[in-house]
Structure 1
Amino acid sequence: MSISELYGELRPRAFSIAYQMLGSISETEDVVQEAFLRMHQALQRDERIDSPRAYITTLVTRLAIDQFRSARARRERYVGEWLPEPLAAESTPADQVEIVDSLSLAFLVLLESLTPHQRAAFLLRDVFEYPYSEVADIIGTDVDGTRHLVARARTHVRKHRSRYNATPRQRDELARRFFAATERGDLSSLEELLARDVTLHVDGGGKVPAQLRPVNGRQRVARALVGAMSVLSRRGVHVHATEVNGRPGAVTVDEDERPTGVLGLDFHDGRIGAIYFIANPDKLQRVGRVGGRDLLRAGPHSGEAGA
C-alpha cells in the first residue's frame, strides 16, 4: 500500500486521537502531518512496519503528549478562559458517531486538567478501546502503570462529568427553544431552559472583547445572553444553528456570512447546563462561510493537512 493510500485510510483515526489530546485543530494537523512524514521517511529507509495502524497511532500519541505539555504552558498565559478550537459541521461524520460524546466541548475542557499521560491512556483505553497492553506500548509504560493512569483519569472524569444527558431528540428541542428565546430576548423562557447552576464560558483570547471569567447561575447567564444577543443584532450578526463537536450549537455570522463565533451547548438533567462561546478569531479560521453543507474547512476527512 502506498503512503498516500495509508494516509487516506489512517488519517481519520490519527486526527481523532490528536484532536482529543489537544483540543486544537491547528495543533492536531501539525501533529498528524509530522507523524505521517516520519512514517514516510521510515518506509523510504526500508524499515519494517508490521502494523501501519499501530505505528501511526504510537507516533501521533507521543507527538501529541509532547505538544500537550508545551500547549499547557502557553494556555496558562492565555488571556481569559481557554476553550477548545471547535469542530463546527452540519453533521457528525459517520466514523465519529461512536465517539461523539468524547468530542463535546465540555468533555474536552474536562480533560484539560489531566496530565498528558493520563489523558493519553484514558482516551486510548476508554474512548478508542485499545487493550491495556497496546496502550502501555504506545505511551511507553508498563501495563500496571497504564492501569493506574486510566484509573486516576476515570475517577476525575466521573467526579466532574454530568451523570445524565438528554437524548439527541431532547437536545435538539432544547437547543431550538434556547436559540429562539435568546433571539427574542425572552428572559423568563430562557431561564426555564437553563439548569440552576448553568455556566457560561467565553473565549475571546484577548483578541475581541469578552468576559475573562465564567458567568454562573441561571439568572446571570440569561441576562448575559440576552444582552450579548442585543448587541450582536445591532451589529448585523445573526445565528446559524449547526452541530458543534457532535452536539447542538450555532455559528454566529456577520452580514457577509463570515463567522464571528461558535457556540456549543452541554446538557444536564434535561436542561442546558453549560454554554461555550468561542470568539477568538484565531480559532475561527477553519470555520468557512455559512451556506454550504460543511462549515469546517479542515477536519478529520480533509484531503490535506492544513486549511
Structure 2
Amino acid sequence: MTDERESPAAAPDRERLLADLRPAAFGIAYRMLGSVAEAEDVVQEALLRVHRSLESGERIVSLRAFTATVTTRLAMDELRSARVRRERYVGDWLPEPILTDGSGAGSDPARQAETADSLSMALLVLLESLSPEQRAVLLLHDVFGYGYGEVAEIVGKGEANVRQLAVRARRHVVERRPRFTTTREQQTELASRFFAAAQEGDLAGLESLLAHDVELVGDGGGKAPSLARSQRGRSRVAHTLTNWLRVLRRLPEMEIRLAEVNGDPGAMFLVDGQLLAVWALDILDGRVAGVRAVVNPDKLVHLGPVGDANALVRQLGGARPGD
C-alpha cells in the first residue's frame, strides 16, 4: 500500500486528513468488533500509526486504503483477543448500541459509524460467528466497496483465497439473515405501536404485533438484571415484555424515548434521566421478529449517564423484570 511516487498531504493538512479518515476507520473497527470502546482504541492506534508514517516521510498511494489496512489488521488482532473474553461472557452477548438518528450523547460515535447501513444488531450478531478473516473480507468488499485485489492486500492473503472467504461468509449470513421487506415508515409506525402497547401493559395488543417465532435476547453481562437465556415464541415473549414494563412502570420517573438504534427502530429506557437499557427491534413483513435489549451498563456508558439497575431492583423490593 506504499509507494514513492506520491505524498498524500503536506504537514499542515495532516491533522485535518486524520480527522477525515476517522469515521471510515471507526466504521470498519466497530463492525468488526461490535464494541464502541474497542473500536475507539483500535482507531486511535491506527491513526497514530498513519500519522507516524506521514511524519517519517513515507509516501502513500492511497491514504484511504492504507488506513483501512492498518485498522483492519488491528481489529483482527483485537477480535482474536476479544473472542477469548466473550467465551467467558455471562449470558447472551450483544453489540454495544449506537444511536443512528443523530440524537443524544451517543449520536457521534464517529458520525454514527459513518453510515447506518449494515449496522443492525442482527447482522453484527451474525458476524460474530465468522472467523476474523471472513468478517474482514465480507465487510471490506460488500459494505465498504473494496475490490477483491485491494481486500487481498489489506488482509494479507491471495485474491483467490479472499474470494473463497467472501463466498463462504456471504452464504453463512444470507442463510441466517431474513430479508426485512417493511418500509422505513412502516417500521417507525410499528415501533411506536409496539412501545405504546408495552408501556400500557396491553398484552393482547403487544402480542398482535409480534411474529410467530419472535426472539427476545437480553444482554446484562452479569452486571444488570436480564434474561438467563433468549426466549422464542409470540406468547412467551409478550408475557415477558409486559412483565418487564409492569415492574418499570412502578418507577414514576421512568421514560421510554424512541430512537433509531443501529439503523433500526428502538428505544432508550431512562429513569430520572439515567439510562437503564436500550432496545432494538428487528421488523419483518409488518411484525416484530426480534427484540434485543442491552442492559449491561458497561455497554451504555458512551450514550450518557447510566443508572444502577440493581439498586432500582432493591428499591422495588426485589422484584426483577421478568418475575
TM-score (normalised: structure 1): 0.90
Task: Tell me which residue corresponds to 1:4.
Answer: 15
| Match for residue 251 of structure 1 among 251, 254, 268 | 268
Task: Tell me which residue corresponds to 2:45.
Answer: 34
Query: Which residues in structure 2 correspond to 1:91-170 (within 5 Å)?
Result: 91=102, 100-170=116-186
Tell me if structure 1 keeps the 8 A contact 2:100–2:112.
no
Query: Which residues in structure 2 correspond to 1:1-307 (within 5 Å)?
Result: 1=9, 2-91=13-102, 100-235=116-251, 236-255=253-272, 257-288=273-304
Alpha-carbon distance, 1:4 to partner: 1.0
Alpha-carbon distance, 1:62 to partner: 0.5
TM-score (normalised: structure 2): 0.86
Tell me if structure 1 keeps the 8 A contact 2:99–2:112.
no
Tell me if structure 1 keeps the 8 A contact 2:27–2:113.
no
Task: Return the letter of the residue paired with 1:87.
Answer: I
Structure 2 unaligned segments of length 5 or more: list them. 1-8, 307-323
Structure 1 unaligned segments of length 5 or more: list them. 291-307
In the alignment, the residues of structure 2 paired with residue 158 and residue 99 of structure 1 have an alpha-carbon distance, to the nearest angstrom, of 21
Tell me if structure 1 keeps the 8 A contact 2:30–2:113.
no
Question: Taking CA–CA contacts closer than 8 Å with sequence separation of 6 or more, which of the two structures ends up with the larger relative contact order?
Answer: 1
In the alignment, the residues of structure 1 paired with residue 125 and residue 49 of structure 2 have an alpha-carbon distance, to the nearest angstrom, of 30
In the alignment, the residues of structure 2 paired with residue 127 and residue 9 of structure 1 have an alpha-carbon distance, to the nearest angstrom, of 19
Between structure 1 and structure 2, the one with the greater Rg is 2
Tell me if structure 2 keeps the 8 A contact 1:198–1:274.
yes
In the alignment, the residues of structure 2 paired with residue 17 and residue 228 of structure 1 have an alpha-carbon distance, to the nearest angstrom, of 35
Alpha-carbon distance, 1:48 to partner: 1.8
In the alignment, the residues of structure 1 paired with residue 117 and residue 239 of structure 2 have an alpha-carbon distance, to the nearest angstrom, of 29
Task: Tell me which residue corresponds to 2:316.
Answer: none
Tell me if structure 2 keeps the 8 A contact 1:262–1:279.
yes
Identical aligned pairs, as a percentage?
52
Q: How many residues align?
A: 289
The two structures, once aligned, show a CA RMSD in angstroms of 1.9
